[in-house]
Amino acid sequence: MSLQNLRTHFVSEINPATDDGKAVVLSGWVHEIRDLGGICFVVLRDRSGRAQITMVKKKTDAELLDTAKRQSRESVISVTGIVKAEPKAPNGYEIIPSTITLINESASPLPMDTTGKVDAELDTRLDNRFIDLRREESTAIFLIRNQVQKSIREFLYENKFMETSTPKIVAAATEGGTDLFPISYFDREAFLNQSPQLFKQMLMASGFDRVFEIGPIFRAEEHDTRKHLNEATSIDIEMSFADHEDVMEILEKMIVRVYEDVSEKCSKSLEILGVTLKIPKLPFKKYTYENVLDIINNEIPEIETKMQFGDDIGTQAEHLFGEYVFNKTGESHYFITAWPTKTKPFYAMPNADRPEISNSFDMMHRTMELSSGAQRAHLYDVLCNQIRSKGLNVDSFEFYLKPFQFGMPPHGGFGVGCERLVMTMLELDNVREAVLFPRDRKRLSP
């Protein structure tokens, strides 16, 4: 048996111009029932939108009308009927029903409102995420996120990248850091991986040349900010015979492609969210870390303490600098390049002429980091030195270092946080809005 006959169309697939008079079957949720005496409307909702089911009392079978009125909100129903073009109805048509079948009744009261009439706190919404996701704004975010990931995959395939999957259970830290979740692995301790970095680099030694992965990264940071998650989705690439400049070019083109595609293919979702996308201009502006310090020290008077080479660009400075760039260029996206070697992980390539700076970059959106990347140290001795200079033990990187002794090409790559990309694109206040089921310090369920 198949249940596919419960639907001939998604709501948005009906075109009033060509489908007027056609028999259709729609299935979805009872969004709303409006009984105006002489006329009764049931609004049926599926992920693509809403359809108005119209019953004029005098012309409608009494039993059908009675069934319609008895439905509780958010119950699952199936409606068979005839399409009638109606410019005033949502999507330009209404359905004149012949049958309405209750498929599964929803209990009431509902844990939260889905109509947008009652505001709920983010926490309440996340506690009841399954139903929050029925709200058209929430659905819109994830339809767009779906397009973002689709466009990225397409763009990377077109540029000869192959999709890979690397382990999330690992024996050692990527960067020797402490921000790791330990797990018990039979009789040993293991960790959830914080980044596919080491694995994607090993694949360069395997000759895969251009790889990407869209997968989870785990960070045991005790942050409670609007931009940090403890489980995030990283869009990671690594490419051979490439330096940081080549990698930045791929990254900025990928971002523009995503903006173009979302703009073109998700216009309805953007409209629901009230967002108009401005396609970023290529190439993105590049500021070296030292340019940034100069500007902060000389052109941004709000920052009182002068910054020196090697200092972290703190939150306030990052914020003001992002505003500075936007005011100056009208663009939100930009790169900060040539970071001090000591502020970047050991795998970033030190600059050949000035080893105190690295061939690394961050890609920023206004005040937020969207991506970090670099040309990588591909020479065994350079890499071992870098590991030691970070106070780490070369022996604990044995599995990673071995490939560097047996034919490792020059390479580079980046990681972009998918949630931050969606968050900045859609001007969301909190990164949690861009994750189906966020994981943070306080939230482990649902």
**Residue whose C-alpha is closest to residue 234's, from 177, 200, 190, 196:** 196
Q: Does 174 bind ligand ATP (CB under 6 A)?
A: no
Q: Does 433 bind ligand ATP (CB under 6 A)?
A: no
Q: Based on CB atoms, which residue is closest to ligand ATP, 370 or 401?
A: 370
Question: Would you say 34 is a known binding-site residue?
Answer: no
Binds 403: which of Mg ion, ligand ATP, none (CB < 5-8 Å by kind): none
Least spacing, CB of residue 351 vs ligand ATP, in Å? 19
- Planar angle of CA 428, 148, 246, nearest 5 degrees: 110
**Residue whose C-alpha is closest to residue 375's, from 238, 217, 174:** 238
Q: Residue 65 and residue 52: Cα distance in Å, rounded?
A: 14
Q: Residue 403 and residue 321: Cα distance in Å, rounded?
A: 40
Binds 32: which of ligand ATP, Mg ion, none (CB < 5-8 Å by kind): none
Q: Residue 375 and residue 247: Cα distance in Å, rounded?
A: 8
Binds 97: which of ligand ATP, Mg ion, none (CB < 5-8 Å by kind): none
Q: Based on CB atoms, which residue is closest to ligand ATP, 325 or 431?
A: 431
Can you say how many angstroms the Cα of residue 109 is from the centroid of all Cα atoms in its chain?
32
Q: Based on CB atoms, which residue is closest to Mg ion, 71 or 372?
A: 372
CB neighbourhood size of 295 (10 A): 18
Question: Would you say 32 is a known binding-site residue?
Answer: no
**Which parts of this chain interact with Mg ion (CB under 5 A)?**
372
Q: Does 228 bind ligand ATP (CB under 6 A)?
A: yes
Compute how many residues bind ligand ATP; rule: CB under 6 A: 16
Q: Based on CB atoms, which residue is closest to ligand ATP, 28 or 373?
A: 373
Nearest-CB residue to Mg ion? 372
Q: Based on CB atoms, which residue is closest to Mg ion, 60 or 372?
A: 372
Q: Residue 417 and residue 266: Cα distance in Å, rounded?
A: 21
Token pair 């502006």: residue? 285
Q: Where are the beta strands (DSSP E) in 281-359?
A: 285-288, 333-337
Least spacing, CB of residue 339 vs ligand ATP, in Å? 11
Q: Does 372 bind ligand ATP (CB under 6 A)?
A: yes
Q: Based on CB atoms, which residue is closest to ligand ATP, 333 or 420?
A: 420
Ranges within 35-54 binding ligand ATP (CB under 6 A): none
Question: Would you say 419 is a known binding-site residue?
Answer: yes
- Please give the torsion angle defined by the CA atoms of residues 68, 69, 74 and 77, in that order, rounded to the nearest 10 degrees: -10
Question: Would you say 372 is a known binding-site residue?
Answer: yes
Binds 228: which of Mg ion, ligand ATP, none (CB < 5-8 Å by kind): ligand ATP
Q: Residue 370 and residue 286: Cα distance in Å, rounded?
A: 15
Binds 71: which of ligand ATP, Mg ion, none (CB < 5-8 Å by kind): none
Q: Does 371 bind ligand ATP (CB under 6 A)?
A: yes
Ranges within 280-339 binding ligand ATP (CB under 6 A): none
Q: Residue 26 and residue 103: Cα distance in Å, rounded?
A: 12
Q: Residue 336 and residue 287: Cα distance in Å, rounded?
A: 5
Q: Does 193 bind ligand ATP (CB under 6 A)?
A: no
- Is 114 within 8 Å of 129 (Cβ atoms)? no
Among 219, 344, 365, 411, binds ligand ATP (CB under 6 A): 219
Question: Would you say 314 is a known binding-site residue?
Answer: no
Residue 298: which residues within 8 A CB-CB, separation 6 or more?
none
Residue 127: which residues within 8 A CB-CB, separation 6 or more?
111, 446
Question: Would you say 252 is a known binding-site residue?
Answer: no
**Choices 55-63, 75-83, 155-163, 228-236 (CB under 6 A): range interacting with ligand ATP:** 228-236
Question: Would you say 203 is a known binding-site residue?
Answer: no
Strand 93-104, strand 49-56: pairing: parallel
Angle between helices 244-265 and 418-425 in degrees, nearest 10: 50
Binding mask 375-394 for ligand ATP (x = CB under 6 A): --------------------
CB neighbourhood size of 402 (10 A): 13
Q: Which residues are registered as beta bridge partners of 163?
A: 212
Binds 28: which of ligand ATP, Mg ion, none (CB < 5-8 Å by kind): none
Binding residues for Mg(2+): 369, 372
Instruction: Provide the binding-site residues for ligand ATP, judged by CB under 6 A.
Output: 219, 221, 228-229, 232, 234, 369-372, 415-417, 419-420, 431
